[in-house]
Amino acid sequence: MINKTAAQMAEALAKGETTSVELTQAHLDRIAAVDGQVKAFLHVDTEGALAQAKDVDARRAKGENLSPIAGIPLALKDVLVQKGVPTTAGSKILQGWHPPYDSTVVSKLKSAGVVIMGKTNMDEFAMGSSTENSGYGPTFNPWDLTRTPGGSSGGSAAAVSSFQAPLAIGSDTGGSIRQPAALTGIVGVRPTYGAVSRFGLIAYSSSLDQAGPFGRTVLDTALLHEVMAGHDPKDATSINAPVPAVVAAAKSGDVKGMKIGVIKQLQGEGYQKGVQTRFDESLQVLASLGAEIVEVDCPSFEYALAAYYLIAPSECSSNLARFDAMRYGLRTGDVDGASAEAVMSATRDAGFGREVKRRIILGTYALSSGYYDAYYGSAQKIRTLIIQDYAKAFAQADVLVSPTAPTTAYKIGEKVDDPMAMYLGDVATIPVNLAGICGMSLPAGLADEDNLPVGFQIMAPAMQDQRLYQAGAALEAALLSKWGAPILSKAPELKGAK
C-alpha cells in the first residue's frame, strides 16, 4: 500500500479497502525500518498520528463529508508550528520548545483530516540547499545515501521519495521545495507568494517564504495544494482570492496550444550535461504533445542570486532577533551575575549554527546605516527588474521552463566549505521567489552520467498556479508512458525495507 499514490490511497480509503489507522501504521513501520539511514524525521509523533487516524476513520464511519485526502499520512517540515509537538526549525536554539498554537497550515490539515506523522529535518531556519546545516545532522538522499537530498526541505523530500510518507509539506524561500524535489525524483510546488498562509511558518525571509506541497505525482501534489492554500486574515500578506483550481488542472493535463517559454539565461553553461539532456528531451516531449516552444530573454536574472543573498539575510537578521533566551527555547550562560545581554549573546552563540550566523552578520551589515542604499536598496531594485523580466516573458508564453537545479544530487560534505558553490545551486529557482510567482519541479528522468534524478521546472504568473499542474501533468503522463514505470521504481532498495 505504501508504494501507491496518495490519490490511490484516498480511493482505497473511500471504498473501505483500508483504514487510515492501517495506512498510518504501515507508514510508521516504514519509518521505523528505513529512517535510521535516511534521517528524514526529527520527530515522529506516533501516538498523535494514530489518534488522528482513528478520529478520521470514525468520522468516515459516521458518513461525514471528508476532504479528498482525509486519512492520508503526511510529513511536515519542522518549520511549521504544531501545537504540543516539538518544533525546532532545525535549530538547537529551539530545542525542547513545544508550541502553544497551530500554524494555519496545520489547522487546515487537521480540519481536512490529514494525518500528521511527524516533523522533518531541514537546514537550520531553512538556510541552506542540502539539509547539512541542520542542527541535528544531515538527511541522506534515498537514491544514494552518500549524497544530500537537497534542501532546505530535504527531510520532507527524502521522506516522500523513500515511501515513508505519500505527501509532505516543505517551504520554499529560494528553491527549498523545488530543488530537493528535483534531487530526489519527486514533485514539489512552491505556490504563489501569499497563496498559502505564513502564520505559524517560522520566518526566514518574510517576503520570500512560502510553504508548499510535495508528492510523488502531479495529482497528489495538487490534492495537498488545494487543502493547504487559501486566504488567512492572520497573515497580512495573504491573498484574498479563491484558490486556483489545481486539482482539475492536474486531472486534465493538456498542453495543446500552450506557449512554453524557455528562459535563455537558465540553461547551457554551468548546467550538468545529463541535466541539460533530460531537459531538452522534455521540451521535445511537450512539443510533440502540441505545445509551442519559444525562447524568452530575462537579462536581469543574472543578478538574482546577488539580490537574494542581500534580501534574505537582511530580513533574517531581524526575524531571528526574537531568539534571545528570554521567553522560550535554549538559554545558556545564565549564571550568577550574568546580565541579560550576556545571556542573550551566549545563547545565540551556542544555539545558532555557522550558516545562520553568517547570514545574520551579512544581513545586519547590509541594513546598516550608510550601506542600506548600496545593498538592501539595490537588491530591491533588482527585484523590480526581475518582476519586469517575468512580465515581458509571460506576455510571450503561458508558462516558463528551465532545469530546476544545475546539477544532480552532490555528495554530503562536498560543498559545505564553499558557500558560493552551494548558493549557485539555487540560480534557477531564486527568480521565482524574488518575483513572488509560482513554480513546480517534476522528474525529467535520470542523468546518464550518474543515474540520479533530474528536475524540470515550470513557472507561472502569480495566482495562475493551475498552469503548473496542467503542463506538469501532461509532461508526467508522456514521460511515464515512455519509461514504462515511475522513476522512483528505479531507485535502489533501502536496507531494512521489506
Partner 1 sequence: MALPTYEEVIAKWDPVLGLEVHVELNTQSKMFCSCATEFGAAPNTQTCPVCLALPGALPVVNEKAIESTILIGLALNCKIAPYSRFARKNYFYPDMPKNFQISQYDEPICFDGYVDVEIETEEGAKQFRIEIERVHMEEDTGKSLHVGGATGRIHGADYSLLDYNRAGIPLVEIVTKIVPGTGKYAPEVAKAYVAELRDILRGLKVSDVKMEQGSLRCDANVSLKPIGSDVLGTRSETKNVNSLRSVERAIRGEMIRHAELLNDGKKVKQETRHFQEDTGLTRSGRSKEQAEDYRYFPDPDLVPVTPAASWIEELRASLPERPSLRRKRLKEEWNVPDKEMAAMINADVLDIVEATVLMGADPTKARTWWLGEISRIANEKELPIAELAITPAHVAELVELVAKGELTDKLARQVVEGVVAGEGTPSEVVAKRGIKVVNDDGALMAAIEKVCAEQAETAEKVRGGHLPAAGALIGAVMKETKGQADAARVRELLLGHLGH
Catalytically active residues, by annotation: 77, 152, 176
CB of 169 to partner 1, least distance (A): 14
Q: Which residues of 473-483 are buried (b: 16+ CB within 10 A; e: fewer)?
A: bbbbbbbeeee
- Residue 381, number of CB atoms within 10 A of its CB: 13
Which residues, listed in sequence order, are joined to residue 213 by a DSSP beta bridge?
A: 169
CB of 102 to partner 1, least distance (A): 10
What is the largest distance, in Å, between two alpha-carbon atoms of the chain? Answer: 74
Helix, strand, or coil (residue 443): strand
Footprint of partner 1 on this chain (CB under 8 A)?
A: 80-81, 87, 89, 94, 97, 99-101, 103, 198-203, 205-207, 233-237, 314-315, 317-318, 321-324, 326-328, 339-341, 344, 364, 367-369, 372, 376
Nearer to partner 1, 269 or 341 (CB): 341
CB of 43 to partner 1, least distance (A): 15
- Residue 230, number of CB atoms within 10 A of its CB: 17
Q: Contact at 8 Å (CB) between 66 and 302?
A: no
CB of 125 to partner 1, least distance (A): 10
Whole-number Å distance between alpha carbons of 458 and 468: 6
Crossing angle of helices 218-228 and 104-111, in 10° steps, is 110
**Sheet harboring 438-446: ordered strands across?**
41-44, 115-120, 73-77, 167-171, 211-215, 187-190, 438-446, 453-460, 399-403, 259-263, 292-296
CB of 46 to partner 1, least distance (A): 24
Nearer to partner 1, 99 or 453 (CB): 99
Q: Where would I find the H helices in 40-163?
A: 46-61, 104-111, 154-161
- φ and ψ of 177, to 5 deg: -100, -50
CB of 380 to partner 1, least distance (A): 9
Whole-number Å distance between alpha carbons of 225 and 245: 10
- Concatenating the DSSP letter of every residue in 167-212 gives EEEEE-SSSTTHHHHHHHT-EEEEPPTTSS--TTB--SSTTT--EE
Helix, strand, or coil (residue 350): helix
- The CB-based long-range contact list for 249-252 (8 Å cut-off, 24+ gap) reads 249/222, 249/466, 249/467, 249/468, 249/469, 249/470, 249/473, 250/218, 250/219, 250/221, 250/222, 250/469, 250/470, 250/472, 250/473, 251/219, 251/473, 252/470, 252/473
Q: Contact at 8 Å (CB) between 459 and 438?
A: yes
CB of 59 to partner 1, least distance (A): 28
Nearer to partner 1, 369 or 481 (CB): 369
CB of 141 to partner 1, least distance (A): 28
CB of 324 to partner 1, least distance (A): 6
First and final CA of the chain: distance in angstroms? 12
The residue whose grid cell reads 500528521 is 116
3-state helix, strand, coil in the chain (%, to 5): 45, 15, 45
